Amino acid sequence: METAAAIVSYASGFALMRYHLSAGDLFATSLAVNLALGPLTAVIASRRGRNRLLWTVLGFSFGLWALAAVLLIGLSPPKPDGPPTSHFPTSRAA
């Protein structure tokens, strides 16, 4: 149980605070942190144009690390409205 608690606490980022708890308490607290950061990570990713479901899973799995990653990754490029009308570059300034 201690190995699983250590893995979950490092994955969530909770181990960075260096609390000395029992394995069960560390495991439960790390899961609570991940459950809180999963939806937060998904909302931020959605507002930045990223896949909400993917980032929800990443937030539940990696907690603080997923939140940091979604904050550091820039906005996704906008998707084109439709198929291009020409294969040659054109200026839309005019």
Which ranges constitute the DSSP H helices of the chain? 2-12, 23-47, 52-62, 64-72
DSSP, collapsed to helix, strand or coil, labels residue 32 as helix
Per-residue model confidence as pLDDT tens for the chain (94 residues): 778 777 777 777 777 777 677 778 877 888 888 889 899 999 999 998 899 999 999 999 888 889 999 999 877 776 666 555 556 666 666 5
The pLDDT of residue 62 is 87
Name the E strands within 1-94: none
Supply the DSSP symbol for 16.
G
